[in-house]
Amino acid sequence: MTVQDALRDAARRLESVSATPRLDAELLMAHALGVAREVLLLAHTRAEAPAGFGPLLERRLAHEPVAYILGRRAFWTIELEVGPGVLVPRPDSETLIAAAIDHFGTGRPATILDLGTGPGTLLLAALDQWPDARGLGIDRSETALAYARRNAERLGLADRADLHLGDWGEGIDGPFDLILCNPPYIESAAPLPAGVADWEPPEALYAGPDGLDDYRRLAPEIARLLAPGGVACVEIGAGQEAAVTAIFGYRRFTVSSLGDLNGVIRCLILVANRE
């Protein structure tokens, strides 16, 4: 079977598993061939399909995330190593980096805090954006921190990124010019696709019956840790803007928001008012 035929067959089989079946098939095929997707499409479609493609396809048919199968995921300007035990970086979260860039304009943050850093997603993207900044990433998972440390080393950012085990802002001293946070915000009873619910860590997804438990903990900690005039960019779920604004709004923040590429309000922007 040629690569072209294998891709066609795989895309058909993946329709029941993925919202992007053709893309998934192409990414898996490129991985099996050891080439970039663009190279696959330009030069390999008439070649014989590699034997390694079949096992990769079966893993995806079992709902395993493509990022876990490939072992990597692109985010903003960087590529991150990912795998079981960490939340897969999503384009929605890039909204937080875009909001931070809008806030600082031609300026830059000197100190950055990423609460719930996972594989270093937001922290390392921010440090890549601002080469003079230093940052601290906190996570409750040793597994996630191991990924984050490897990513920091590979990206040449380890000398500017401190990564520590912790529980949100407990035991941390500020202030920080920029705080980034993508907390769990899914209601505990909410249904999720099998590729998420069966594979990604539940502690990075669920946040109590209303999905707001972690925002309630984060509000006083971010207020304490954010420098006057600094900004916190916090990810929220679809439809949560009013509820999360109410949790943060009374703590001397000026609150605004930013939508993702689909127009869904995804980032709450909290600017610490100067005294």
Q: How many CA atoms lie within 13 A of 219 on its CB side?
A: 16
d(CA 263, CA 259): 5
Q: Is residue 48 over pLDDT 80? A: yes
Mean pLDDT over all residues of the chain?
Answer: 96
d(CA 157, CA 121): 12
Burial (0-12, 13-18, 19+ Cβ within 10 Å), 254: exposed
Average of pLDDT values for 32-53? Answer: 94
Q: Is residue 275 over pLDDT 70? A: no
Q: Is residue 74 over pLDDT 90? A: yes
Helix, strand, or coil (residue 135): strand
Q: Tell me, what's the pLDDT at 122?
A: 98
Question: Which secondary-structure segment (H or E) carries 43?
Answer: helix 37-43
d(CA 7, CA 139): 39
Q: How many CA atoms lie within 13 A of 158 on its CB side?
A: 12
pLDDT tens-digit profile of 90-126?
Answer: 999 999 999 999 999 999 999 999 999 999 999 999 9
d(CA 64, CA 58): 9
All domains of the chain in start order, with CATH: 3-62 (1.10.8.10), 85-272 (3.40.50.150)
The pTM for the full model equals: 0.94
Q: Is residue 274 over pLDDT 70? A: no
Instruction: Give the model's confidence band at 138: pLDDT under 50 very low, under 70 low, under 90 confident, else very high.
Output: very high
